[in-house]
Structure 1
Amino acid sequence: MHALSIPTWIIHVSSVIEWMAAIWLIWTYGEVTKNRAWYALSMGMLPALVSAMCACTWHYFDNPKSLEWLVTLQASTTVLGNFTLLIAGWLIWRSAKSARVKTPESQTQTQSSTKLGL
């Protein structure tokens, strides 16, 4: 546990706690808005959380050679997390785009813009 200073530990631990809170808040937002795309973002954040926990675990035990597999797991879950967040972002974009098409206001605006030649 001597591998990191106390301020660095505070940052590591608070980042993990903040990430867990963000996952929960995003999931709750998906429930409130009834938009399942936000669930995807919440689930897509989990690999990054695993990555952070791997880093904290490795540092907690003073970076031993016997736990170097955690570094590989951390790198792998970081890459996986980047892709899952990309997909979740695309799903949110797609749901927002389709929601705009379905609302009567956007249809009225589109019709007005078409009549005006815009």
Structure 2
Amino acid sequence: MHALSIPTWVIHVSSVIEWVAAIWLVWIYGEVTGNRYWWGLSWAMLPALLSAMCACTWHFFDNASSLEWLVTLQASMTVVGNCTLCAAAWWIWRSASGGDRSQQE
């Protein structure tokens, strides 16, 4: 746990907490608006959360070489998360532009 300073740990942990709150708020927004595409965005945010949790776990164990696979998983989840967020944003944009209203009700 000595791999990071206390202020850096505060940033890491608060970022994870903020991301969880953002996922929850996006889900609630989908419920309030009745637009299910926002629920898709909250699901699309999960790989990025997993990525952050991998990084925190690796640092918690002092960047142990036995856990170096977490770095690969973290990078992979970042790529997957970026792709899922892009797709979810596109679906929201498409639904707002009148392309598909079937999922909104």
TM-score normalised according to structure 1 size: 0.83
- If asked which structure has higher relative contact order (CA below 8 Å, sep 6+), I would say 2
Matches within 5 A, 1:26-41: 26-41=26-41
Structure 2 residue aligned with 1:111: none
Per-residue Cα deviation, 1:36-67 (whole angstroms, up to 9, x for no partner): 11011100000000000000000000001100
Which stretches of structure 1, 4 residues or more, deviate above 4 A after TM superposition? none
Per residue, is there more helix in 1 or in 2?
1
Letter matched to residue 84 of structure 1: T
CA RMSD in angstroms, aligned pairs only: 1.2
Give, in whole Å, the separation in 2 of the partners of 1:82 and 1:30. 20
Between the aligned residues of both structures, percent identity stands at: 75
Q: Report how many residues are paired.
A: 100
Matches within 5 A, 1:1-118: 1-98=1-98
Give, in whole Å, the separation in 1 of the partners of 2:63 and 2:7. 18
Q: Structure 2 unaligned runs (5+)?
A: none
**Who wins on radius of gyration, i.e. which is larger?**
1
TM-score normalised according to structure 2 size: 0.93
Q: Structure 1 unaligned runs (5+)?
A: 102-118
Give, in whole Å, the separation in 1 of the partners of 2:80 and 2:21. 20
Displacement after TM superposition at 1:33 (Å): 0.3
